[in-house]
Structures are given as C-alpha cells and as structure tokens.
Amino acid sequence: MIAFLRRHRGQILTYLGFILFAFVWLLPFYFIVSSSFTPRYEIFQTPPRYFPQNLTLENYPNMMNAIPFWRFYLNSLIFAIGSTVVSTTFSAMAGYGLARLHFPGSNLVFLGLVLSVALPQVALLVPIREIFNTLDLNNTYLGLIILEASITTPFTVWIMVSFVNQIPVEIEEAALIDGATLWQSITRIVVPAMRPALATMLIINFINGWNEFLYPLIFATRNDTKTLSVGLVSLGREAIGSSRPWDLMSAMSVLMIVPVLILILFGQRAIVSGLTRGAVK
C-alpha cells in the first residue's frame, strides 16, 4: 500500500489538486444554478440549504414576467455578435496589413494600437457621452457596437499580427509570382491560414461583448437596447415583490451563462491553442 502511494505520489497529488481546483472554481457556479431551481421560501431560510429540497422551475417564468427578458436577450446577442464580427474582421485586416505590408511607421502604428488599450474605458466616458449626444447614437445598436468593437481591437490586432507572422510568407509570394492578384492571395491563402486565430478571437470577443456592462449601462437607457447584464443589476435594485429577488436573479444568471458555457464546451481547444500560439510569443 505504502509502496503504491509512493510510486504514484505525483499522480495522487495531481488528482487531489484537481479536486480542490474544481471545487473552488465550480462552487459559485453550483450555487447560482441550484438557487435558480430552489423555491423562494427555501432561498430565504436560515440556516441555508446546500441542496435544495423541493426543486422548482417557477423562478424562470416569474423572472420573465418581471422584466422584458427576451428583449434583453436579443439585445445582448445583437450587441455581442455585432461587435465581435466588426472587431475581428477589422483586426484581421489590420493584423495582415501590419505583419505583411511594411511601410515607414508601421511599427509605430502597431505599438499605438496595442498600447491604446491602456486608456481605461471608464475614463473616457464624458467625451464619448458628448459625441453620442451630437451624433444621436444613444440607445442605438450601432453606437454600442462601435464602442465595444473598439475596446476589443487592440488585443485582437496583437493576436492577429503574431499569428500572421507565423504563416510562412513563401506561399503567398509563390502565388503572386504565378500571377495571382493581391486580393486573390488574401482570400485563397491568407484567410484560410488565419482560420484558427479567427475562430479563437471570435469566441473571446463574443464572450467579452456578452459580459460587457459599462457601455450598455451608460448608453442604453431604454428597454429596446438594454442588455442582460444591465437588466440583471436593475432587477436586483428594483425590488420586485417583497424582498431581494435572488430567486429571479439566479434564474436570469443561469440563462445568461448558457451561451458562454456552450462556447467553452465546444471551443475550449480553440481558445487554449489560439492563445497559446498567438498571444504569447
């Protein structure tokens, strides 16, 4: 027995570490999910229950009656998908341009783009508010998508440049010598080669957009543009019924987590390998 333990010490430690890690990482997640299926009276019980005794689904319809949930859902989807597509497309273009088409000052442009992430978004709110007032962009998907796309571009450009730098330039050169136009070489060779980086950044930018809180909070004050994150916080503050509606809020939280969870389950390899190959070289 002792010999067994000694021989497999490394493996045993790894599994113990895994159990501890999984417990801490998943506990709040379990708490939110289980609350969403717990009836209200059981949530407000002392001492609290760790396993709900009577499971219920009623929190979900109750929550949907309290707020325009599906409208918020649609808004969040439009906001996240729109900003992801804009940001990833623009960044891929710029990434290719910076990595391949050198011109005087291209390093400076690259540095400027990447370092501009250091200007905190919250610190620029007042002027953006004035721009939005002037251009009538408040409460529009267009305005929100521009802002969100903009904050995710520096990181995306960085990843794209690193990635394109790893694609051998010879194939494109060969294609050009064979008479292909620059446009043909981009669509037939470069875009397919960049597919892994594109997939990674589409996933990451979607998650960032889905989770964004500041911009919708400030620039979406109407229900027809408010996103889920803003709706969730206001659900907690507007006290529907007689007390803090954690039953409703947990149900809403679970439905908010579902899309990102699906992306993670199917995209884990893409995220890890994309970041491994891109960012960190």
Partner 1 sequence: MTHSVENAPPASPSRRKSFTLSQRRYLAAALLLLPVVALRLFTTLYPFIQTILLSVQKYNPAFPPREYVGAGNFEKLAGDLVFQSSIEFTLIFVFGSTLLQLIFGILVASLLNAKFRLRNLARTINLIPWAIPMVVAALGWRWLFDGTYGWITDLQTRLGVQFSWLIDPVGARVAILIVNVWKSTPFVAISILAGLQGVPEELYEAARVDGANPVQSFWKITLPLIMPLTVTIGMYMMVWQLSVFDLPYAMTSGGPGFSTSVLAYMIQQQVATLNYGYASAISVVMFLVVAVFGAVGLYVFRRVEVQI
Partner 2 sequence: MSMSRRSFLKASGSAAALALTPKISGPWVINRRRQNTVVLKIQAFAHDAIRAVLPDFEAATGLTVQLETGVSSGVEHLTEVSTAYAAGDSPWDVVSDSDESGPVLARAGWLMPLDDVIPQETWDDFPQGMKDAFPLWHGFDGAMYRVPHEFAMAYFFYRKDIIGDAPKTWEEMVEKGMEVTDAANGVWATTDGISRGGLMWVYLAYLTSQTNGQIFDLDDGTAMATRLLYDMMHTYKIFPPDAINTNYDQQNQLYMDDKVIFMRQWPFFQSVAEGNTAWYSPDKVAIALPPAGPSGPGSWWGGWGFTVPALAPNPDGAKELIKYITSVEVAPKLAAGQSWFIMPRASILAAMPDNVLVGAMGMYADAGAIKPRPYHPRAAEAQVAVEDALSLYITKQASLQEALATGRNLLAALGE
Query: In the complex, which residues of this chain contact partner 2 (CB under 8 A)?
Result: 44, 46, 129, 131-142, 217-219, 221-225, 234, 237-240, 242-244
Q: Which residues touch 187 (CB under 8 Å, ≥6 apart)? A: none
Q: Which partner in partner 2, partner 1, none is near 105 (CB below 5 to 8 A by kind)?
A: none
**Contact, 102 vs 258, CB < 8 A?**
no
193 binds partner 1 (CB under 8 A): yes
**Closer to partner 1 by Cβ: residue 70 or 213:** 213
Site string for partner 1, 248-277 (x = CB under 8 A): -xx--x--xx--xx-xxx--x--xx--xxx
24 binds partner 1 (CB under 8 A): yes
Could you tell me the two tokens for 3? Answer: 């010999």
Q: Which partner in partner 2, partner 1, none is near 258 (CB below 5 to 8 A by kind)?
A: none
- In angstroms and rounded to an integer, the radius of gyration of the C-alpha atoms of the chain is 24
Q: Site residues for partner 1, window 55-114 (CB under 8 A)?
A: 90-91, 93-94, 96-103, 106, 109, 113
198 binds partner 1 (CB under 8 A): no
192 binds partner 1 (CB under 8 A): yes
Min dist CB 135 to partner 1, Å, is: 10
138 binds partner 1 (CB under 8 A): no
**Contact, 175 vs 188, CB < 8 A?**
yes
Q: Which residues touch 227 (CB under 8 Å, ≥6 apart)? A: 72, 75, 76, 79, 212, 216, 220
Min dist CB 166 to partner 2, Å, is: 32
Min dist CB 165 to partner 2, Å, is: 30
**Closer to partner 1 by Cβ: residue 16 or 57:** 16
DSSP conformation class of 117: G
Q: Which residues touch 215 (CB under 8 Å, ≥6 apart)? A: 121, 144, 147, 148
242 binds partner 1 (CB under 8 A): no
Exposure of 145 by Cβ count < 10 A (0-12 exposed, 13-18 middle, 19+ buried)? Answer: buried
H-helix or E-strand spanning residue 2: helix 2-7
Q: How many residues does the chain have?
A: 281
**Closer to partner 2 by Cβ: residue 172 or 212:** 212
CA trace torsion 6, 7, 11, 15 (10° rounding): -40
